[in-house]
Structure formats: structure tokens, C-alpha cells
Chain A
């Protein structure tokens, strides 16, 4: 008969082993992508997950031959601007609802909330026409503002919930000390909801960076395109050369993966700080 401690250790080992096996299967697509990118032309069509030897030639070629820096910059500009607007606008709105409790703000809140029920698929046609009328096709602003409008409701829900949970005495104290609304917002409310701000920032960054549908329609000029919509054109360009195609796909996927690995701790902390409480 095993001692309870040994049994629980045994169970821990088994569970870890199973998790690693599942993870192994889960990682197949990403490993496969990297593996094809590291192949010589002769091995490129081998039906195998791994081949040997590996070569970095494909990466050298695609970096040399393609303006990836400019495309990366397009993604970065659009994403950073969208995130900044979403965080600023949604936190202001959440402050108006949760702390200032302006008359009518709850009605507005509920109205804005319906955005979360609107699938982007039903918005692309009207947004495309609207942006055309504004002359905003192939501009950064043509994506930034619609993205912001669609991102604000989710951010505002989270920030409002966090502000409502903050101790009201702090806001009373700020008022007594002579802070006006803006000062209270900046010096009291924002620092109090920091984990939520971090969470909203990271989530909005991921969503915006990877958005495909609207970007496909709004960005038609090649020098404006973002990382998410260029893979299609490379799949045509490198049809006969999968090694180069998958090298470039790896490079396209890499920035956000690296970023997420760097910030995941803060992201999950924000999520655990009360995100899915019921």
C-alpha cells in the first residue's frame, strides 16, 4: 500500500505527462511551420514533421527580398494608436458611469454595450462605404477609429466593474481635498484600476494586431498593408517554394507571440484580479 504522499506525487507525474503529450499535439502546427521554414528546397515537400538537416537560408532570403519592416511598422502604428484611444476613451467613459454617476450615463452604457452583440461581418459593408465617403481608404485612421469604436465597449465593461469595486471613500477623500473630476480620474481612478488597464491594453493589442476582415477591405495598397493580410500574397509568390513561404509566415507570427510571452504574467494577473468572477 502506497503512502498518500507518494500517491499524490505519482498522480502529479501522470498529470504532467498527459499535459505534455496533449501540448505536443497542440504545438504540431507551429512546429510544422517552423520546420518547413528551416528546410532545403529538396526537402520542402517531404510529408514529415521534422527533416534533417536544417538551414536558415529561407529566413535570410525572405528578409532580404521583402519589405517586412514597413509592414511591421504599419501594424504597429495602427495597433498602438487603437489601443491608446480605446484605453483613454473607455476609462473616461467608465469613470463617468461608475464614479461621477452622470444622469443618463447608464442608459448610454447599455446602448454602447449592444456593440458587443454586433458581429463584424455585418459591419464591413457599411464601414467600407463610410470610409470611402470619408476618403479614408488606405489610411491608418480609416482602421484606427472603427477598431477603437468596436473595442471601447468591452474595455469599458471591465474598467467600470473595477472602478465600482474600488473603495468609494478614496474618491470622497479626493473630493474633500479639492480634486476636480479630471484630477480624481487621473490621480485616483486610473492608478486604482491598473491591473484592469493592463489587461485591457494587452487584449486590445492582440485583437487589433490580428484583425483581418476590415483590414482586408480598407487596406488595398501594398505599402499600407499590415502583417495580418500579407500572408495571402506571399502564398502566391512562394507557391513553389514552401520553405520561403513558411519562413515568412514564422516571421509574421513571431512578434505577437514574443510579446505575449513577455506580458502573459500581467495579462493573466489582470484576468484573475476579478475578470470572470460570478
Chain B
């Protein structure tokens, strides 16, 4: 009897101790529920309602989705986002990878200097960057038209003022800002390459470019996959560069999801279609991410470490 009570007491105490252990997980879970999960569920619900002028919302079925998908701007956005992905991600990988390779394998005293300098655009405020590039691109007094003229490229207008070139001009800014990030990811990858493998390859006669292309590039696949995944999500949340440099113009030619959602939701106050757009972006992001994770085995974090 007494023994039974003691066992029960111990069990009770260990049970309560186990439940206090869940306090370790509680704050993160709370933040997630309130500021991630709940807003997503709310926006999903709102996407099926249409706001009325009197403030009440009425169920509208798929009307918001229909109106978003039939808006020609939506398809401009889709095209721009596809361009953005297809151009920025490989170019950043290529330049970042080359920089990383030469910095890691051929510099010593100046290694820290190069690593830091090429990364500086990443830590420079994006709004500052945007305004500086507006000035660079400016007609008459900008330096782009001035210096490009010497190599035979004549710009009569600002490239961000022309509907045909605006999105490409913005992509250039984005590449410039984020290449340092790709570089750093590859630097981490190169620094962690097992030296036995490199030595073995060298003994087999792989040198210089052959070593780089056939041995190092394949071994950097984890960094490449992470960059791909991050690049897609980063593309979908593109906002400040476009908002500050073109506002999505001229004539909506450089509109991206971020600016489109911003306009529908906060400028026009059309919560219904803003919500439908938010859900569409979310679904695209989840679908593309899951496809990459399933097909490539890509990981979610730039610094995701896999257990051996």
C-alpha cells in the first residue's frame, strides 16, 4: 500500500517534470501559432470572402481567385517571377561560385578581405541600394549611360523607365546585391571539402579546371541545392528593389508578387483579392519547395547540416 503510493508519487512527479520539459518547446510553438499559422489560416479564409463597402464580408466562393487569374497583370507578374528565378539564381551561383573558388584556393593573406568586400552588398540596406541604382541608371547624369557609351552601348533613357528593359534592370540590381551570399555559401562548402578526396583526385592527375569541374563542383551539390531552394523563395518575396525603383511600372511591366499584393491589399484596399494572391504565392512557394526537396533532396536551410 505504502509502496504503491510511493510509486504513484514518483510517477506523478516524473510526469509533471516531463510536462515542464515541454516549456522548452512552448515559446517557439506559441510564436509559430500566433504569427505564422493563424495568419495563414486567416488569409486562406479571407480569400473566399469579398469585402463590401459597409465593412461586412460576404462569402464569394472562388470569385477572388477568378478575378485575380483573369487580371492581365497577374500573368505579367508570373512571367517576371519566372525570368527573375531563371536569371538570378544561375548567375549568382556562377559568379559566386567562381569568386569562392578563387578566393578559397588561391588567396591567403587577403582571403578575409575579399570574403568581406564581396559580401558587403548583402548587408547594405536594400532601400539605400535601390536609390543608388536609380541614380546609376538615370539618363543624362547617371554613370551607367556615361560609361557604357565608351563600350558602344548607348542608352537614351533609363533602363528602368522602359517597359521592355525594366525587369532586367531590376534583376541586375538583385544579382549584384545577393551574389556575395552565394559566394559565402560556396566558400563554406569549399572549406569543408575533405582534403583526402582532393588529394586522391590530384594523385589521379586531376588539376586546375579538371579538378574544379569534375571533383569540386559535384561535391558542392549540397550548397547548390540550398541556394536553389533559397533562390526560389527569395524570388517570390522580392519586394523592396521593385517597390523603390519602379513601383512595378512603367505600365506595370516590372510588377512582382510583392508589389502586386501590396497594391491590391494596401493601396486599393481590396482585401479579398489581396488574400487570394497571398494564398496563390504561398501555394506556389510550397509546391516548388516540396518538388525540389523530393526531386533533388534539397534542404531547407542554407546552413542545414545533415547527419552522416
Contact = CB atoms under 8 A, between A and B. Distances in A.
Interface of A: 11-12, 15-16, 18-19, 22-23, 26-30, 32-33, 36, 45-49, 88-90, 92-93, 95-97, 100, 102, 105, 108, 111-130, 145-146, 148-150, 152-154, 156-158, 161-162, 164-165, 181, 185, 199, 206, 209-210, 212-213, 216-217, 227-232, 235, 242, 245-246, 249, 252-253, 256-257, 259-261, 264-265, 268, 271-272, 274-278
B222 A276 contact: yes
B285 A119 contact: yes
Contact of A117 (B133, B189, B285): B285
Nearest to B45: A126
B236 A119 contact: yes
A218 B91 CA distance: 34
B201 interface: no
A49 B205 CA distance: 47
B125 A124 contact: no
B192 interface: yes
Which 3 residue pairs are nearest across A and B when measured between Cβ atoms?
A: A278-B222, A126-B39, A149-B35
A27 B192 contact: no
Interface string B220-241: 0111001000000100111110
Given A112-B28, A126-B278, A23 B118 contact: yes
A145 B33 CA distance: 12
18 contacts: A90-B28, A111-B32, A115-B36, A116-B233, A119-B233, A119-B236, A119-B285, A121-B236, A122-B261, A126-B39, A157-B300, A161-B304, A199-B303, A213-B239, A232-B127, A232-B244, A253-B125, A260-B116
A32 B136 contact: yes
Contacts of B130: 231
Contacts of A181: 21, 24
Contact of B285 (A122, A245, A275): A122
Contacts of A148: 31, 35
Contacts of A249: 128, 131-132
A261 B24 CA distance: 34
B131 A96 contact: no
B209 interface: no
A252 B278 contact: no
A7 to B, nearest CB: 12
Nearest to A196: B303
Interface stretch (B2-10, B139-147, B157-165): B139-147
Contacts of B191: 272
B258 A121 contact: yes
Contacts of B290: 117
Contacts of A19: 99, 102-103, 107, 110, 114
A124 B265 contact: yes
B128 A253 contact: yes
B279 A150 contact: no
A96 B305 contact: no
Contact of A95 (B24, B119, B244): B24
B132 to A, nearest CB: 5
A246 B116 CA distance: 23
A129 to B, nearest CB: 7
Interface in B26-46: 27-29, 31-32, 34-36, 38-40, 42-43, 46
B254 interface: no
Given A16-B110, A29-B133, A275-B188, A127 B39 contact: yes
B73 interface: no
